[in-house]
Amino acid sequence: MHKVVVNSTPLIALASIDKLEILKELYGKVFIPNGVLNEISVKGDLKLGEEHIRKCDFIKIKEIRNQQTKKFFRTSLHIGEVEVMILYDEIQADLCIIDDLLARKYAEHLGLIVTGTLGILLKAKQKGIIFLIKPFLDKLIKNGLYIDDKLYDQILQIAGET
């Protein structure tokens, strides 16, 4: 079983299309640091809040051990993103799920294996958990997630839906 650490935006995005359970189906369980839990609580999303996260038995909340490490990260990253990267290292995770481009580049620079919400949807289709990606992409966009037109077309091409 893989160890997977997830940031707030992918959790919110998947909850907004009623597909948070994809994480359970793909990985069994996922980890989030307290910083991510706090970000979700502050954003006040109707479909996803601290109470909902705590009810999801497959989402494990984990305190990072090395709080001092946070100071060494760039201030342009959110605390949740920083804690996701620290937790990845602390639990020797196999995958980090982050959507923010700057955070993804930073994570890749540190040698973390990274994917995002769209990568999760592609993997879910590949595994037969979902059958079409396009309806979910359209719903994500409707719900406020920005997906560049070129990326949208690329995802559909990879998924074989063009």
What's the burial of 146, exposed, middle or buried (CB within 10 Å: 0-12/13-18/19+)?
A: exposed
pLDDT of residue 43: 55
The owner of tokens 């342009």 is: 76
Please answer whether residues 81 and 98 qualify as being in contact, where contact means their C-beta atoms are separated by less than 8 angstroms. yes
Please answer whether residues 139 and 49 qualify as being in contact, where contact means their C-beta atoms are separated by less than 8 angstroms. no
The owner of tokens 């980090």 is: 96
Per-residue pLDDT tens over the stretch 9-37: 999 899 889 999 999 999 999 999 998 98
What average pLDDT score do residues 85-107 get?
93
Q: What are phi and psi of 147, to 5 degrees?
A: -130, 115
Per-residue pLDDT tens over the stretch 68-95: 666 656 567 888 898 999 999 999 999 9
**Which residue segments constitute the domains of the chain, with CATH numbers given?**
4-158 (3.40.50.1010)
Question: Which is it for the CA torsion 158, 123, 112, 52, positive or negative?
Answer: positive
The segment with the largest mean pLDDT, out of 12-16, 142-146, 154-158, is 154-158
Per-residue pLDDT tens over the stretch 110-135: 899 999 999 999 999 999 999 999 99
